[in-house]
Structure 1
Amino acid sequence: MALVALAPLAWMASASFMAPGEAGALPPPLLPAHPTLAHYRTLFARAGMGRYLLNSFAIASASTLLSLACNLMAGYAFAKLRFRGRERLFRALLGALVIPAQVAMLPLFLLLKYAGLVNTYAGVVAPALATVFGIFLVRQYARGIPDELLEAARIDGAGEARIFVQIVLPLLRPIIVTLAVFTFLTAWNDFLWPLIVLTGQEHYTLPIALASLSREHAQDTELMMAGSVVTVVPVLVLFLLLQRHYLQGLMLGSLKG
């Protein structure tokens, strides 16, 4: 089953090095007869793939950092700080999970339009500042932090900000890595929301650029495969490097919940 799942990715990488028209032969060749980098040179020289790659990296990185800041503080507050209406508010947030994200896109787009954020990177990043899933994930993990540890720090005179930065964040390290990887992958692969918000081609991300490329070069299979490789490889490498921490954070979070 693993081979079946990886076969399309392997052929995608192989086809990206084939000569023009070679991938359309019947039966399709598994390996290029004469490997070439011409399609990658075309992507970065004429299709502007380098600009789109930087756009995707900037948006995904900003979304990840800002989302971590908001979700970590909110999740910790719901887990350990006592305030009026905490449980009711958290249940209301969980109820929002059943609402499809597409339903909120129109009012969200109108809000961003009134704020002047359409066709800006900030307009793409804004919806990722805080997510119900991220808050829930951090809350479930933070509930396992001993209350005695926090109370001891308060008795010693530490403020809430210092407790959060020096005590809580180091204990949340596994879930921080998990949430960072999840948020980065989501922002990198997002297609629908950037397509709605970004109207200028110079702001396009890789998924939008790849879709635009498919309309212009529908018959150029090898060029499309090269574009797909450029889109997939960065996040694939990131996930492979951090997969152990990512899975560890998910498992620990589920056990602590």
Structure 2
Amino acid sequence: MRKKTKKKQSAYTIVSAVLITVIAFLFIFPLYWIITGSFKSKMDIMSVTPIWWPTSWVMDNYQTLMGKRSAPLFEILGMVGPTIPAAFRWLLNTVFMAVVSMILTCITSSMAGYVLAKKRFIGRNLLFSLIVCAMALPKQVILIPLIREMSAIGLYDTLSAAIIPIVGWPFGVFLLKQFSEGVPGEMLEAACVDGASEIRTFTDIVIPMIKPGIGALAIFTFISSWNDYFMQLIMLTSNSRLTISLGIATMQAENSTDYGLLMAGSALAALPIIIVFLIFQKYFTKGITLGAVKG
């Protein structure tokens, strides 16, 4: 019996390892193809037979990406910075938009989630029900009101117009409410007895206990903001305010596609996401597992 059990376990381990390897390859291959393709010549890229490894490593695609357009480094209060390649400005815009969206969303969602989980007030259940319903509402439904709202307050064609709609993300409130439910009420009562203010209780007790959820939400928000091409397309029009994905799309000719340029831009755009995930992957993993148990 023991030998049969060991054989079953070893067979299961082998099958699992093969499946995981295949799935990992399917996820990694597109990234490999983009990175290697960005260093290929046009002849290699347009070859009928796939060329898995560049015959000669060239920088032509990156030179085209950096030299095709230019933009000022910054525009603040009427001051204009030095001129740099537009791709760098687009990348800075995207990083700024994603980081600010991530920070503001984590702050507002953690506060709202804590209040909904631990405070008792009239309309609490109704408010949470509305937040859950908003999670199922497609963004396209509220797009026209968002555009009119941004135009009315003078934020249209600014990065703020792409940041503000993300800050009130219902999923973030829902996620951190689930984590806040696990904060022991006795600790909050003890802090109140010791004379701690609400802000002190929130920052010193609640935040450390829901940190895995905040880390997971940070990654979700960063990636969502970074990849929200549709919102960026609607809200941003000026060359100096474009994001990297939107800017690369505008560099394409009407009747032709420069695949080398697309791959170079995609490789440049993927780098910050990879860095952010490597930094927050510990919290991301904890957030997924703990959230699954508490949910």
TM-score class normalised by the smaller sequence: over 0.9
The correspondence for 1:26, drawn from 26, 36, 48, is 48
* Count of residues in correspondence between the two structures: 257
Shift of 1:237: 2.8
Q: Which runs of 4+ in 1 moved over 4 A?
A: none
Asked if 1:98 corresponds to 2:136, the answer is: yes
Structure-1-length-normalised TM-score: 0.95
Moved more, 47-56 or 133-142: 47-56
The answer (yes or no) to whether the contact 1:213–1:224 under 8 Å persists in 2 is no
User: How far does the alpha carbon of each residue in 1:14-36 deviate from its partner, in whole angstroms, 9 at most, with x for none?
Assistant: 11111223211120211111101
Q: Which runs of 5+ in 2 are unaligned?
A: 1-22, 70-85
- What does residue 169 of structure 1 align with? 207
Match of 1:220 in 2: 258
Q: What percent identity do the matched residue pairs reach?
A: 36
Find the aligned partners of 1:171 and 1:118 in 2 and give their Cα distance. Answer: 38
Describe the SS at the equivalent of 1:82.
coil
- 1:39 match: 61
Amino acid at match of 1:51: R
Q: Distance in 1 between matches of 2:211 and 2:27?
A: 31
Offset, 1:132: 0.8
Secondary structure in 2 matching 1:21: helix
Q: TM-score of the superposition, structure 2-length normalised?
A: 0.83
How far, CA to CA, are the matches of 1:223 and 1:121 in structure 2? 25
Displacement after TM superposition at 1:216 (Å): 6.1
The residue type paired with residue 56 of structure 2 is H
2:105/2:167 contact within 8 Å kept = yes
For 1:180, the aligned partner's letter is: A
Contact 2:36 2:54 (C-alpha < 8 Å) held by counterparts: yes
Superposition pairs for residues 173-192 of structure 1, below 5 Å? 173-192=211-230
* Bigger-Rg structure (1/2): 2
1:46: how far off? 2.7
* Pairing 1:1-257 to 2, within 5 Å after superposition: 1-47=23-69, 48-215=86-253, 218-257=256-295
CA distance in 1, matches of 2:194, 2:278: 42
Q: Distance in 1 between matches of 2:254 and 2:232?
A: 20
**Residues 245 and 265, structure 2, Cα contact 8 Å, conserved in 1:** no
* In 1: Cα distance, 2:88 partner to 2:252 partner: 17
Distance 1:217 1:243, change over 3 A: farther
CA displacement at 1:93 relative to structure 2? 1.4
Q: Which amino acid aligns with 1:61?
A: V
Structure 2 Cα separation of the partners of residues 7 and 59 of structure 1 = 28
Over aligned residues, Cα RMSD in angstroms? 1.5
> Hey, what's the Cα distance between the residues in 1 that align with 2:196 and 2:27?
51
| SS of the residue 1:122 aligns to | helix
Q: Which has the higher contact order (CA 8 A, sep 6+)?
A: 1
